[in-house]
Every structure is written in C-alpha cells, then in structure tokens.
Structure 1
Amino acid sequence: MPFWKINLLYGCVAMSMGLNSSLLWAAEPDTQQPVQLPTIKVEATRTDTSYLQTPASVFRVDAPEQMQSTQVNLTELVKGIPSLQLNNRENYAQDLQLSMRGFGARSTFGVRGIRLYVDGIPATMPDGQGQTSNIDLSSLDHLEVLTGPFSSLYGNSSGGTILTTSKEGQGKDSIEMSYAGGSHNKNRAGIVLQGGSKHANEPSYVISSSYFDTDGYRDHSDARKVLNNAKLTWDLDDGSKINWITNYVKIHANDPQGLDKTQWQQNPRQVNDANNTYDVRKDIEQTQTGVTWSKPLNDQHELYLMGYWGNRQVTQYQSIPKGRVGEENGKPIYSGQASPKQAGGVIDFDRNYYGADFRWTGKELLPNTILSAGVAFDMMDEDRKGYKNFNDVGQFGVKGELRRNEDNSLWNIDPYLQASWQFLPTWRVDTGLRYSNVHYKSKDHFTSGPDEYGTINGDDSGKHDYSKLLPSIALSWQVIPELLAYVSYAKGFETPTFTEMAYRPDGSGGFNFALDASSSDTYELGLKSQNQLGDFTLAVFQTKTKDDIVSAGSVDGRATFRKADKTLREGVELTWNKALWRDLVINASYGYLDATFDANVPEKKDDGKILASAIPSGNLIPGIAKQRAYAAVAWKPNTGFYGGVDAQYNDKIYVNDTNTEAAPSYTTVSAYTGYLWTLNDWNMNAYARVDNMLDKNYIGSVIVNDGNGRFYEPADGRNWGAGIKVTKQF
C-alpha cells in the first residue's frame, strides 16, 4: 500500500485515540455524565453486531419520517455514501447507474457487479444483473450499503451489496394517502395501508401502491410506472418469524438515448435522433414473491430459510439502422441489420427466476463464537427473441421479422461458512468462506441459410461454467469503547451477465462465451468512532482485479465487452455525522478513488478492422469519478417545520478507455422545507423542494465507450417538487 495512505491511517488512529481520551478524561469524575449513543444493529454481515462493532464498511440509511421528495428514485434517499456512486440518467428506460468503488461503472443500463436484496429476496439475477426499479420507497424502513471485503459473503458479482428492508405493520390500522408533483409534469400518487397484529399468530401488514408519470426533462423521455408492494409478518408463539413479500412493477418509458458533446452543449434536452425515427422505448413488467422464515431452536441454535420466485418481461425497441450490404475485395461489408447474423433491433424476453437460501447459526458452541453454515440456490431461465425494428413496408419502430430465438438458463448452488470469534476481550476475528459457481447454457433455435455471399446464421448454442472459492477474514480491535480499528481481506468473483455475453465484438452471432469471469483481491484498513463529536468512519482500501470485465464498445445499441488483464482500485473514504443542537443534524463525506488499468490492453481486431482500441497501462477506468464530496445540514423535529440543504461535488468522469473525452466535474445544491402536523389519529406532512438550485448544466451519467461518441446523458436543470401526505389511524 502506498506510503501516504499508511501515514494517513496512522495519523487518524492517533487523532481518534487522542480525541476519545480527551473526551473520557477532560471532565471531573463527579461532574462527567455518560453519553448514551444509539445502538444501531447491522444485518448485512450476519454477525449480530452493532454498527460500531462491525469490521466492515457498512452504512445504514433510515427512511425519513418527513416526506422530502417524490419517493421514486433511490437517488432521492441515498446520498453521501462515499463508496457509492449513484447517478440518475433522467431516463426511466435504463434505470439508475450505480457503482461501488468502481464496480458496476461499465453498465449501460441496470446494475452490474453489485448485489441487491429487497427484504432478503434477491433483486439481482444469478449472473449479476439487477434493477432498482422494484424498490418501494414509500414503504421502506431502511437500507444498508455494504462494501469492501465483506461483500464477498454474497458470492458472485458482489463488488458491493445493498440490502433494503420494508416496514413492518405496527400499532393501529391506518391509511396513508400521498400526492407529489413537480417539474416536467411529474406526478406521483400513492396509498399505504398498514396495521400491527392484535393477537398472537396473526399477521401485521403493510400494503403499498403507487402510480407515477412524467413528461421527462428531455424530449422523448416520458414515462409511466405502477408499483405495488405488500409485506405480511407473523411473530409466532414458538419464537419463529415469517415474512411474506410480494412486489409488482410495470414501466413504460421512452428513451432519448445519449448525446455527443456538441449536441449536449447546443441543447441538453434534445433526443438523440431529432426525427425520432426508431421510437426507442422499453416496456417492463415484473412480479416477484418470496418468504423468509427464522426460528430459534434454543439459546444456541437458530434456523433461517428464504425462498422466492419471480417473472420479468421486457420489450425494448432500439435505434439500430436497417443497414445495407456493400462489397470490398470480393467480401461483403454489412451494416446495421443487413447481416444474417444480426439479432435485430427489438429485444423481447420472458424470464423466470427462483431460488432458496437455508442457513443454520450456532452461538456459544465454543466460547465466544458464532458459527453459520448455509447453502444458496438460484435459477434463471428465459425465452429471448430478437426482431427487426421495421416491417416489410419500411415503417420503423415496430416489431418486424424474427432474427433471434433462444432459450437461456443459468443456475448456481453456493455453500458457505461464516464464523466470528472474540478470542480476547477487545479482539475479534471474523471469517467466511463461500464456493461460488455459476452455470450458463444457451440453446439457439434460430438459424438461416446462406445469403448471396454465403453468410449463414448457424447454430450458436453453447454453455459455460464459472467457479471460485471466496475466502474472507477480518481482525478487529476495540481500542476503547468508542473506537474500533480493523483490517480485512477477501477474494471476489464476478461473471459476465447474459446481457454482456449476448453480442460478440466482431459482430458475429451467438454468445461471447470467450469472456472470462474476473477475480479480485481486496484489502482494507478501517476506523470507526462514536463519541460526543459525532460518528466518524475512515477506510483505506486497495483492490487488485484480474481479467476485469470492461467495455469493448457500444455501436447502434449493441454493447460488447472484453477482459483487461489487470486493473487496480485504491482509495480513501471518510464520513462524519453529528447532532449539533436539538434537532439540527450535519452529515459530511469524502471519497477518493483511483481506478486504473494496471497493464496494457491490446487493441482488438477482426480482418484488419479495429474493434476496440488499445488501452495503455495507467489510464483511468471510465465511468468513475476520482473524487466525490457531500455535505448536508438538516433540521429534523418530530413535528412542526423541518428543512435541509445539501451540496454534492463530483469530479470529472472519463467516458472512454483512451481518456480522450470526459464529462466535466460539477457541484449541485438542493434544499427542501416542510411541515409535519399531528392531531389525535391524524397526521399531515407537506413539503416543497428545489434541486440543482444553481441551475448547473451537467452530465448525470455516461455511456462508456459508445461507438458513435454519444457518451453523455444530461441531468435535469433547476427543478422543483412539492407534495402532501395524510395519514389516518383507526
């Protein structure tokens, strides 16, 4: 590890020890009053420890009591976590762009390399592809963000983990109705029914439903979304607990696509294609249900079981041109969809996924130990088809001739072990081991005979297996009750997703099964402190990755990928939060991430044509901001007026491997205010907010290595929102 980082860590250790010592001993014994700090339990590491005792970079975000936003996107709630780069594309067809310590930054849509869970149910497929669109903020209780070595406990594609937990019904039955509106004709209406169990073995419940629509900031970016979420909870007489969660989401969203730099500077609100020839859009419908069950057998043994099933259907119209066939040196030169091997401009798939997780936990079987053993099973199968995006009479933006037809499946069975041993009063070791394995199979049902040049679309069926043993270990020292120091290590593992293997860089048909899985080694040193000056965290980390999955370019909506022999991520993360006075709270964070290619990547050619440029060692990995900072001040009383202001800084982000273009750095400022009123069984909450108060023209997210140079997805300018929520108990 670089010398400056070791010095920084030692300096912070010394500062924190000195700071806490002064807090402990500055007052006279007869006047000093103990400070009662809140005990926050952490669920993500499965060690039944408090936030301060957990030897990992883990952050908990509680849903605010006050209504501060429209409750549609995670970006409204999750701010200031230095390891998490969460970008709003202003494009509901492509979901949020989410990366953690650089993992996932390559994604052109959805989430890659990061595990997502909703009430213990995976929102990430076995191949590592996930979505945030089914997370219901109106019924959310809290979420945890786990990054660093401990994330490997969750297996494949766990460069980080986000676990969201819905509220459980409590107290009297109640109904909550809300409405929020804002810029660009944004509207959201919601209803939440909830109630606690009145008798033993009866369920408590939370049922939520909402409808959202918007014209969108950009042309052709309008969207509609229906989201339903239900959670039933049984606390049984035998001590066991059952949660049944059901979720449904349906989205129709138009896609304005990325712009090149000139287009962005001329008019950031324009659509990629001024004529909107292809009517680019996406329809999504997803249903998911699952059950979790936990039961303590006695004081020492506990069982946990989770099972789930889901269905996801997507139809996406892309802007791939019709194309034509040319000839050069007697060989055909295809463009667009003219080649018999081209999969078309409409993606249409129907996917079923299901799985289970069974875990046993034993406490004090050996002195001061907790042991866990379990096995996780996940399965996905999909019927994927591709069609031309034009019909026989030349009309674009419609479903035309079939060009792809295949059955895809993948599954994994991951056994895992975990142990925690406090071998001395202030020293503890936590360790884990997981065997992660993923098995892919594709059966191609679409073939075609040779065209006039002899080119055929043959049988592209195939299969591939990936596996890795993932050890992790952390050593922690409770220096004093208010200060924890730890060091940790883990090996990570990430397979390419089906989407990333769907297209070959040379344009030929079939899956790119030559794309290897990546493996990583992560080291972390950390400090945590809770005292009268607030809550502090410091993490210094290094991740070395082999065969990293990186973009090989994106042309006409077709993203392809290749491997980089070595990449390196090094960084520092700092957070601080403090209750300054009464209900006045301040939060601040800073993250530095140096993510680079650590070895030369040769250019990729096919028949003399350059498919992907060479990448020299030392270039920054695109899509990642090197520096990010956040500060917020909020007044948060239980009733009455509330409000807050926050500022975010993002460093520039390179958009391609060659580092020749970048989205510039920016700073945005947001503010909100509201009033919370309670009378008997009635509760009313009204708010108003302004985002991007300085009307900064900036890029919200980037499309890495876009072959047409359309890297940029502009963010919204100054925009406003307001809403009201009324709750009645019965």
Structure 2
Amino acid sequence: MGKSLGHRGRLALAVAGTLCGVSVAQEAEQLDVIGEGDAPTQLETVVVTATRVGEPDFDLPVAIDVLNRQVIQDRNPGVLISEVLPRVPGTVVTNRGTFAQEEQIMIRGFGGRSQFGTRGVRLIADGIPASTPDGQGGPGLFDLGSAGNIEVMRGGFSALYGNHSGGVVQVFTEDGPQEPTLSARLMGGSDGTWIAGTRLGGQSGTVNYVLDAYHAETDGYRDWSRSTKEQANARLKVALDSGGTLSLIANAMNLPDSQDPLGLTAEQVKQNPRQAAASALEFETRRTLDNMQGGLILEQPLTDADSLRAMFYAGTRGNEQFLAVPLTNQNAITAAGGVSTFDRRFAGGSLWWSHETALADGPLTLTLGGEYDRSAEDRTGYLNQLGERDALKRDEDNSVDSWGTFIQGKWAFAPDWSLDLGLRYTRVGFDSDDHFICTIGQVTAPGAQAGTCSGSTTRITATNFNPDDSGSQTYSAWTPAIGLLYGLTPDINLYANVGQTFETPTFTELAYRPDGGSGLNLDLEPAMSWHYEIGAKILIGPDARLNLALFQIDTQDELTVATNRGGRATYQNAPASRRRGAELSLDSQLGHGFSGRVAATYLDSELTDSYLACVDIPCRTLAPTLNAAMVEAGNRIPGVPLFTVFGEVAYAYEPLGFEAAVNLYGQDEVYVNDRNTETAGEYWLVNLRAGFTQALNRFRLSEFVRVDNVLDRSYISAVSVNDANGRYYAPGPGTSVLFGITASYAF
C-alpha cells in the first residue's frame, strides 16, 4: 500500500483502542510506526469527531485540528477557551472582557451574530452536548484544567451533528495518571486577577478518575467588569469485565453577579476604553448563572465486528440577567422588562451501533445512531428599577425538543482511496406557553391599578394590550455529507468533501420581534448551507505537518441580527450569503529545542442579495417601512475578519526544565453592521510566556510568567453586531501580566 500501516491498519488500531476503552488519542500523539521499507512516519492523533469512531485525523477527508493537553494546560490560566483556540485556523474567539457574557466562537464566519455565548457552532464536552437543542452554546462549560484534547472540526461533515452551520468543538477530559496524583495551582496578575485550583487523578484497580476544581476572580480591564467563575469537573471511567467502559461525568459552573460594562461607541473608545457605558452603571447590568449537569456513557464491544455506545445526560441551568432597557420602554404593556430570568431543565441521550465488514474486498465501517435532546424552562421578565428587580413583565414556559438519526460509513475501496459519507435527519420543535396576558377580556398579570397590567402604568385598551403569545414552530431537514480521500504518497493525502448544514433559530432569537410587537418571531426560517472543500495533509518528515484547505459555503436565509439595544437583540433572515476562504496550518520541530506553529485563515464573507435591514427600534421592513435601510449585495458579513494569523516559536531546554515562547496574533478589521458603515480596526498582538519545572522523586513544581499584549496595543476584542445605539465596541485589555505556580505530588 505504500503507507505505514495504510488506511486499514490505522483504522484497525483506532477501532481496537476505542473498543478496549484505551485513550488512543493520547497514546498516539508520540507513537512512530515503521512499515517494511518505510522511513519513520508519525502516526497522527486519533480523533472521534468526524466519524464517531477513533481514526487518525491524517486519514480523514475533513478539516480537523487537535489541541493536546500540553497546549491546553501548560502556562495558561485554564479559564477561557480563547486561551487556546486562536491556534486553530478558521476559528475566531471573541471575548467581551467579562464572565457575564460567555465567549463567542466563530468557525468559518458562522457565529458572529451571537450576543451571548456561541451560536452556529456545536459544542460537546466528553460526548455530552454543551449546546442546547436549539443551538445556543456555552463554552464556559469547558473545564480546561482537566482537558486532555480539544478537537475542532470545520465544514460540511459537521452536518452529521445536527443543528448548526459552522463546525464542532469537542473537549475531552484527560485520563488520570497511573499513580494517584494531587496537584494545586495558584495564579495572580493584572486587574486584580487571581485563580486557585486543585486536581486529583489516578488509577485504582479498574477505575480511572479525574477531579478538577477552581475559583477565578478578576476586577476586569474595564470599569464595572468584576467577574467570578467557579467550576468543578469530574470523570470516573470503569473498565468492565465485558471489555467495555462505563464513564460517569459531572460538571458544575457558577458565575455569581458578574458585572457587564456593555459596549461603547467609537467616540467613547477614543475618550477612555476602560470606561463602562453610562447605562451599565445606571441599570447595574450584571448576570448570575449556574449550571449543573451529569451523564453516563457506556462503550461496549458486542462481537469482534460490532460495538455499541449509549449515553444519557441531565442537568439544570439558572440565569438572572439585568439589562439596560430604558424605563419608558419597560413601561409598555408588551415590554418584557429589563431583568431576564429562567430556570431550565435539560436531558437527552444517544445510542450508536458500529459494524466492521468488507465490501468488494475493501474494509467498510458503518455507524448507525439516534439522538434525542430536550430543554424545558420557566422564563420570566421583570422591571429593572435602576439595578433592582421589580414588577413581573413576562411569564412563560418554553420547551425545545430535538430528534436526530444518522448513518455514517467509511469504505477503503482501493489501496490508496477511501470514501466517507453520511446522512442525518434532524427535527427541532419549539413550544411556548404564555402566562402573561393583559387584554380587556382577560388579565392574568393584573397591575397595581384596575385596568392596567403588571409593570405598566398604561391602561389596557382595545388597541393597547398584551395578547396570549403562546406559539409553536417545527423545523426539520435531511443533511448529507460525502468525502473522498486519496493517498498520493505515504506522506501526502489529498481530499475533497461536500455537505449541507441546517441551523434553526434559537429560542432567544425567536423571543422578540423586530417590529416591537408581542409574540414569538415565528417568521424566522432556518439557515441552509452547502459546504464545498478541497484540501491536502502533508507529513514533512517525522517532525512537521502541513494542512491546507480551500472552501466555499453558500447559505440561504442567513440568520442575522435585526435590532440590538440595551442588551436585547432581535433577528431576521438575510436572503443569501457566500463564504470563500483558505486555511493553512504548519507544525514543526525546528531542532535544538525549538518548535513552531503557524495557523492562518483568509475568509471572504459577503451578503450576496440585497435586503432591508433595521437601523432602529421598532423596525418594519415591509411597506410602509419604518427605521429600515437597504443592505447592498456584496457587503461583508459583520463581525467576520477577512484574515487571522497565529504564529508561535517555542524553546525548551530540558536540563534546566526551562520553556519559553513568543506568539503573534493578527486579525483584520471587521464591520459592525450589515450596512458596513463602521469597522473595528485591524490589530496585532505579541504575547510572551516563560517558566521552569523541577522534578524531585514524586514531587513536581512549575513556575511561569505570562505577558500578554506586550506592546500595549489598543484593539477591539469583540463587537455587538447592529447595535442600535452605536455601542458596537468592547475594547480589549492593554499589557497584562500573570504569574503562576503549580505543585503536584504522586502518592
């Protein structure tokens, strides 16, 4: 076959490791396999995100990158995903400078519209969704202090994971070491930042365990941005006598009273980038969030050719968010107030069956599966009386159910060729039951005076009322994916793939209408995207790897922000968009202790049809138009940079346990609205880190210092797309320093 192991051998090793419960991904990173007559060729990291069974990423016809434990944990705070994801081409992470708003992950230009957390990208932690059934994701659930691998898959094959457009980010907890080991970490630095955490891991008989917990606090770079994050993550993995594994996973996160400074106008940024918006101080904008979830995963071989994977999870999430909505606006009968709260219960499960066989003398692996996810919440709204919760303004029960079934297959139909294909059906149903009704004939939320509604001094009339806004909506789609891989030489794989993705609105996006009317925004349609990609994966000797991908994505009914004011956004469909781009990554051991990485992305993203967009609230885009303006075809998609570049050179001197690195991150300007009238400028950041490690018998000590934004550049770290007040900009911090020490002891 001309390859070390070839496709069949690599697949057999990967599947065998998966069935036996072995952490192949971690073991394979440094394993060299030599075939007869071949030079040493690195066996690439085994991943599961693309095919759901373990397989080397080098042999997959998709763009997928893996970040290992050392990259994730060493000399990083271990609190935010933005610490590591800039290393992945095609991926952008924006940070608004406060835990009150979870980070926004964009993959190939999808996710830029998000105002809270991540949308358009599927998030998974240890096989359990970190995205709700409607597509809202919270990357804050990822515990980096115990993460062993992060897999980032981009493009059309993510269609096989259901409701999203851009890709999949999946985090896996590391295995505990063979000997019980207790470690503690303490960090402190600029802006009153400090982090304290501990981790316990080990192996006891057939049980492998990891427990990580930490507390992080910061005063924030900007005024009114003090935040706290507390998180704990645990995994127990039991090796069963039957040859399978049973994993128990638990995760808890708490963000108590995290302050939100909101965005600034361009003029305010020039005056003082550290200030908070005046309305943030007036209404004391802040957020409290707690999330608890747990799950069970059974991986069981049934025969030499068959295996089964079953997963169940459940959890709760509570949220209270104080928004900067003017009191006159909150007084309206149909207004939902300035304090948004919900109590959510969620649960789900999946069942996968994999079978190995042969077709026309070529090995064939088939995976058939089904998934179900449900989220139900009690959502309420209240008046925000200058930072105090007051009268009830909203009361409803919401639920989202998602059903999915899929089939995937991989067929090595010739010595140097393989075919991956899959098909998924996804159905997402929304249901809302309104308990806040104020009409002449029915009042379920009476006001302080007869004839008024709770939280409003305006009298109920035949033309001024709050009706029953209950409603339901269902979206469904079949989404196919197909990929072809050709081994040109033992160290060069060429590939092509095509896939279609399906992304519904989230409940948050359905919640409000751009015209200011009551009821759900049921006119929203799901976004449908066709992804086309070609690429090459090249091993350059035993110590270097080059990946290149070229892609085009055509989207119908792109979901975009219609109006955005006071922390509340409404949404609409843009008729069509196109994304064309290139991604390059290069990893290399340079010799003499040096190593390097480059990850670069070029992404031309544009709206391909003209349409009317909102410039103020309320908005009507049908005649007679009100507060609307034309968006011209050819405008760039807001929030998406034309290019991003990450580069790093690291040095390690083992005799002294010394390590140091310098990295550079650059990003092009981004437009902040659909009409492309303002931009957040291009920027380049230089970051340094260095540290020592000492090992004495069972004790290990590590110290480090990080200096981020060494040149103290001014830049915008995130934007609020289409903000009606022009407060688009969240300034990033200047030069910041973090010191840290980690100590561990193996018993």
- Specify the alignment match of 1:94 in structure 2: 101
- Specify the alignment match of 2:465 in structure 1: 456
Structure 1 pair 612–120 and aligned structure 2 pair: CA distance change class (3 A): farther
Kept in 2, the 8 Å contact 1:67–1:686? The answer is no
Q: Cα distance, 1:582 vs. partner?
A: 4.2
> 1:56 pairs with 54, 62, 85, which one?
62
Q: Cα distance, 1:709 vs. partner?
A: 0.2
SS in 2 for 1:500: helix
Q: Cα distance, 1:45 vs. partner?
A: 1.1
SS in 1 for 2:388: coil
- Specify the alignment match of 1:692 in structure 2: 709
Structure 1 pair 33–470 and aligned structure 2 pair: CA distance change class (3 A): closer
Tell me, in whole angstroms, the C-alpha distance in 1 between the residues paired with 2:693 and 2:84: 19
Note the alpha carbon deviations across 1:521-549, whole angstroms, 9 max, x for none.
11000100112272111111000001110
Q: Cα distance, 1:76 vs. partner?
A: 1.4
> 1:417 pairs with 381, 400, 407, which one?
407
- Specify the alignment match of 2:557 in structure 1: 547
- Specify the alignment match of 2:255 in structure 1: 251
My pick for the range that moved more, 445-454 or 256-265, is 445-454
Tell me the amino acid that sits aligned with residue 485 of structure 2: S
Note the alpha carbon deviations across 1:453-473, whole angstroms, 9 max, x for none.
540001000000000000110
Give matches, 1:663-682, under 5 Å.
663-682=680-699
Tell me, in whole angstroms, the C-alpha distance in 2 between the residues paired with 1:222 and 1:555: 22
Structure 1 pair 175–275 and aligned structure 2 pair: CA distance change class (3 A): closer
Matching of residue 269 in structure 1 with residue 274 in structure 2? yes
Kept in 1, the 8 Å contact 2:85–2:92? The answer is no
Tell me, in whole angstroms, the C-alpha distance in 2 between the residues paired with 1:461 and 1:33: 67
SS in 2 for 1:610: coil
SS in 1 for 2:609: coil
SS in 1 for 2:268: helix
Tell me the amino acid that sits aligned with residue 636 of structure 2: L
Q: Which structure 2 residue ranges, 5 or more long, are not aligned?
A: 1-36, 441-458, 614-619
Tell me, in whole angstroms, the C-alpha distance in 1 between the residues paired with 2:78 and 2:225: 19
- Specify the alignment match of 1:10 in structure 2: none
Tell me the amino acid that sits aligned with residue 218 of structure 1: R
Structure 1 pair 36–249 and aligned structure 2 pair: CA distance change class (3 A): same
- Specify the alignment match of 1:241 in structure 2: 245
SS in 2 for 1:571: strand
Tell me, in whole angstroms, the C-alpha distance in 1 between the residues paired with 2:77 and 2:500: 39
SS in 1 for 2:241: coil
- Specify the alignment match of 2:307 in structure 1: 302
Tell me, in whole angstroms, the C-alpha distance in 2 between the residues paired with 1:612 and 1:305: 50
> 2:734 pairs with 697, 701, 717, which one?
717
SS in 2 for 1:52: helix
Q: Cα distance, 1:181 vs. partner?
A: 0.7
Give matches, 1:99-118, under 5 Å.
99-118=106-125
Kept in 1, the 8 Å contact 2:439–2:460? The answer is no
- Specify the alignment match of 1:657 in structure 2: 674
Note the alpha carbon deviations across 1:162-201, whole angstroms, 9 max, x for none.
000001222111110110111001010001111113x2xx
Kept in 1, the 8 Å contact 2:612–2:621? The answer is no
Q: Which structure 1 residue ranges, 5 or more long, are not aligned?
A: 1-31, 324-335, 391-395
Kept in 2, the 8 Å contact 1:506–1:611? The answer is no
Kept in 1, the 8 Å contact 2:262–2:280? The answer is no
Kept in 1, the 8 Å contact 2:382–2:391? The answer is yes
SS in 1 for 2:158: helix
Give matches, 1:121-160, under 5 Å.
121-160=128-167
- Specify the alignment match of 2:621 in structure 1: 605
My pick for the range that moved more, 646-655 or 451-460, is 451-460
Tell me, in whole angstroms, the C-alpha distance in 2 between the residues paired with 1:537 and 1:610: 49
Matching of residue 193 in structure 1 with residue 200 in structure 2? yes
Q: Cα distance, 1:158 vs. partner?
A: 4.2
Matching of residue 182 in structure 1 with residue 182 in structure 2? no
- Specify the alignment match of 1:384 in structure 2: 379
Q: Cα distance, 1:275 vs. partner?
A: 7.8
Give matches, 1:631-650, under 5 Å.
631-636=647-652, 640-650=657-667
- Specify the alignment match of 1:4 in structure 2: none
Structure 1 pair 590–526 and aligned structure 2 pair: CA distance change class (3 A): same
Tell me the amino acid that sits aligned with residue 684 of structure 1: L
Kept in 2, the 8 Å contact 1:69–1:721? The answer is no
Tell me, in whole angstroms, the C-alpha distance in 2 between the residues paired with 1:621 and 1:355: 34
SS in 2 for 1:184: helix
Kept in 2, the 8 Å contact 1:528–1:537? The answer is yes
- Specify the alignment match of 2:179 in structure 1: 172
Note the alpha carbon deviations across 1:28-72, whole angstroms, 9 max, x for none.
xxxx98234243111111253212111100000012177312111
> 2:224 pairs with 220, 224, 229, which one?
220
- Specify the alignment match of 2:364 in structure 1: 369
Q: Cα distance, 1:669 vs. partner?
A: 0.3
Kept in 2, the 8 Å contact 1:312–1:351? The answer is yes
Kept in 2, the 8 Å contact 1:384–1:404? The answer is yes
Q: Cα distance, 1:697 vs. partner?
A: 0.6
> 1:467 pairs with 476, 500, 507, which one?
476
Q: Cα distance, 1:98 vs. partner?
A: 1.2
Matching of residue 561 in structure 1 with residue 566 in structure 2? no
Kept in 2, the 8 Å contact 1:474–1:488? The answer is yes
Tell me the amino acid that sits aligned with residue 384 of structure 2: N
My pick for the range that moved more, 447-456 or 692-701, is 447-456
SS in 2 for 1:276: helix
Kept in 1, the 8 Å contact 2:86–2:92? The answer is no
My pick for the range that moved more, 379-388 or 233-242, is 233-242
Q: What is the percentage of aligned positions where both structures have the same residue?
A: 35
Give matches, 1:482-521, under 5 Å.
482-521=491-530
- Specify the alignment match of 1:701 in structure 2: 718
Tell me, in whole angstroms, the C-alpha distance in 2 between the residues paired with 1:409 and 1:274: 32
SS in 1 for 2:597: strand
SS in 2 for 1:138: helix
Tell me, in whole angstroms, the C-alpha distance in 1 between the residues paired with 2:120 and 2:624: 33
> 1:439 pairs with 407, 429, 433, which one?
429
Runs of 4+ in 1 over 3 A off after TM superposition: 603-609, 636-639
Matching of residue 617 in structure 1 with residue 633 in structure 2? yes
Structure 1 pair 275–408 and aligned structure 2 pair: CA distance change class (3 A): closer
Q: Cα distance, 1:652 vs. partner?
A: 0.2
Q: Cα distance, 1:452 vs. partner?
A: 5.7
Tell me, in whole angstroms, the C-alpha distance in 2 between the residues paired with 1:500 and 1:275: 23
Tell me the amino acid that sits aligned with residue 210 of structure 2: V
- Specify the alignment match of 2:488 in structure 1: 479
Tell me, in whole angstroms, the C-alpha distance in 1 between the residues paired with 2:718 and 2:331: 32
Tell me, in whole angstroms, the C-alpha distance in 1 between the residues paired with 2:280 and 2:91: 37
Note the alpha carbon deviations across 1:292-328, whole angstroms, 9 max, x for none.
11111121000001110011000000010111xxxxx
> 1:340 pairs with 333, 348, 352, which one?
333
- Specify the alignment match of 1:289 in structure 2: 294
TM-score (norm 2): 0.89
Q: Cα distance, 1:505 vs. partner?
A: 0.2
Structure 1 pair 103–140 and aligned structure 2 pair: CA distance change class (3 A): same
Matching of residue 70 in structure 1 with residue 77 in structure 2? yes
- Specify the alignment match of 1:353 in structure 2: 346
Structure 1 pair 567–671 and aligned structure 2 pair: CA distance change class (3 A): same
CA RMSD in angstroms, aligned pairs only: 1.5
Kept in 1, the 8 Å contact 2:431–2:472? The answer is yes
Tell me the amino acid that sits aligned with residue 435 of structure 1: Y
> 2:644 pairs with 619, 623, 628, which one?
628
Kept in 2, the 8 Å contact 1:552–1:612? The answer is no
